[in-house]
Amino acid sequence: MIDFANFSGLQAAVAVAASWVTWYTWKFFLSPLVYRDEPKELPYVIPFVGHTLSMVTGAHRMFLNGRKRFGNEPWAVTIMGQSLYVIPSADDVQAIYRAPKTLDFDPFIKEMLSKYGITADTANKMFDTLPGHTKNWMETSIDNFKLQMHPGDKLEYVQRRLLGFIDKSLLWERLRGRMVHKDGDAERIVSLYTWSEMVIVDAQTRAFFDEVLFEKCPELLAQFQIYEDESWKLPMDLPSFATKDLRSSKSAIEKGLRQYLRIPQEQRPNDSWIIKTLCEDMVNLGLDETQKVHVLFSFYRVMNANAYKLVFWIMSYLLFDPELKQEIVAEIQPAFSKGKYSAPDLDYIFNSCPLLVSTCEEVLRLTNWPIGTRTVQTDTVIGGKKLRQGRQLLMPYRAMHFDFNVFGADATTFNPRRFMQKSLLTNKSYRPFGGAAHYCPGRYIARREVQMFTAVMLMRFDMSILDAKRQTPHFPKMDNTLPSGGIQVPLKGEDLMVRVRPWM
């Protein structure tokens, strides 16, 4: 007898398989032939869903695979039901920069602001142009950040304070606290990651804010480290039970910022120009205290999110390459002609140490994961392909940083002399700080502080990698699961423990 139940099940399975084959054939073979003017799509197996979150954690590989399949043509990808365009070509990125209204960055900024607690009403105030004005509040703020951070008197003032604080922090007697895992008079075991973070974040905070902020938030640095460790959850809209530490650390920092804002400006004489201006502009915009705190927190987080991570990776590369380290020590030696513990000749470090500069730039290229995004406001053509209104597009700068045609056959490896070829610094495929109107204004001071930090650290401390349990140390593994928009962190447990002694 015929088993009708099994036969019906087989029929259903065949029907589902046939439907899937029909869908896949149309989606990835026939549709591109019919719609030749639209970007081809990276194939996926789950209809309508596309690439799942587990696939996204291999985002860098996905972008590289897309580039291998489609070359420099714009292509499309569906991630968890959302269709996105990917623009891999440096020339097409330039075209996007020239169309700021058609390909708009503002929706992304508004979405990120909402993650910090900034309401839609506040965001609307920031982006609405008032009668009689040519620019909205956000555009004016970007101009103000450029005034503070681009070369000029305002940058010189902040930079002098910042580098001075770093100089004072990198002393043997200041090597204390959470960074030290084993103390001693002649030798200490130190977390390189925490050391980099504590020195850089502390110096940047003191350079931009009055030091009274530390009185209002004594645990500022510790709470910021917790927030940074948990910040990968920020864009994911996870339930509250999964973001407890993220929210509590943010709340602790914002409590201190709230008390800070309540102090009259005349009692905060060391505020930088941008902090004073930002506070005045928030008053003029009519923001309530809570929204002011959220805005100030967003600035504080962005300001401190990357430099210390870059320092960690630079020092890791140098510690695993003793010959390179010695070459750089010899190169920077003249900057310390007055002694290892004297203030270094910064002009010499920045302008007469090509190997140091090239090494820092190469580490930036390898460890940075900047990614540009825009929203297509009207149908437009980029790279010969039609992009449809309402979709988002991504510019994976990190994939551009591994372009063999630009960076050579060894583009995936560490070459400390790569950027001695000066033209690479200005190559349109090298975008560590983004570009166009949203080109990171902090790029000038960021480059200088990591170069200065590296030079001072090398001159003042004898550092070596700690042999954990007599095993051969391995280079820290980078967390490449998700794009961070900046410098990637090491994987959990991949911090580098270093044995530190003072140079006599």
Q: What is the DSSP secondary structure assignment for residue 487, as one 8-state letter? A: B
CB atoms within 10 A of CB 108: 15
Whether 204 contacts 224, CB under 8 Å: no
Q: Is 368 helix (H, G, I), strand (E, B) or coil?
A: strand
CA dist., res. 224 & res. 219, Å (int):
8
Positive or negative: CA dihedral 378, 380, 386, 387: negative
Residue with tokens 């004898």: 462
Residues in the chain: 504
Q: Which amino acid is at 308?
A: Y
Two structure tokens written together for 376? 């297509």
Q: Helix H segments across 83-177?
A: 90-97, 106-115, 120-127, 137-149, 153-169
Residue with tokens 């910064």: 346
Q: Tell me the CA distances in angstroms from 497 to 59, 201, 501, one per residue in order.
A: 29, 20, 13
Which residues, 6+ apart, have CB-to-CB distance to 136 below 8 Å?
A: 126, 127, 128, 129, 130
β-sheet bridge partners, residue 180? 190
Residue with tokens 């551009």: 400
The DSSP result for 382-420, as a single string, is ETTEEEPTT-EEEEEHHHHTT-HHHH-TTTTS--TTGGG
CA dist., res. 218 & res. 286, Å (int):
29
Three-class HEC string of 186-245: CCEEEEHHHHHHHHHHHHHHHHHCCCHHHHHCCCHHHHHHHHHHHHHHHHHCCCHHHCHH
Two structure tokens written together for 207? 């350079």
Residue with tokens 């309402």: 390
Q: Determine whether the annotation assigns residue 440 to a binding site.
A: yes
| 411 phi/psi in degrees, rounded to 5 | -60, -25
Cite the annotated binding site by residue number.
Answer: 440
Cite the annotated binding site for heme by residue number.
Answer: 440
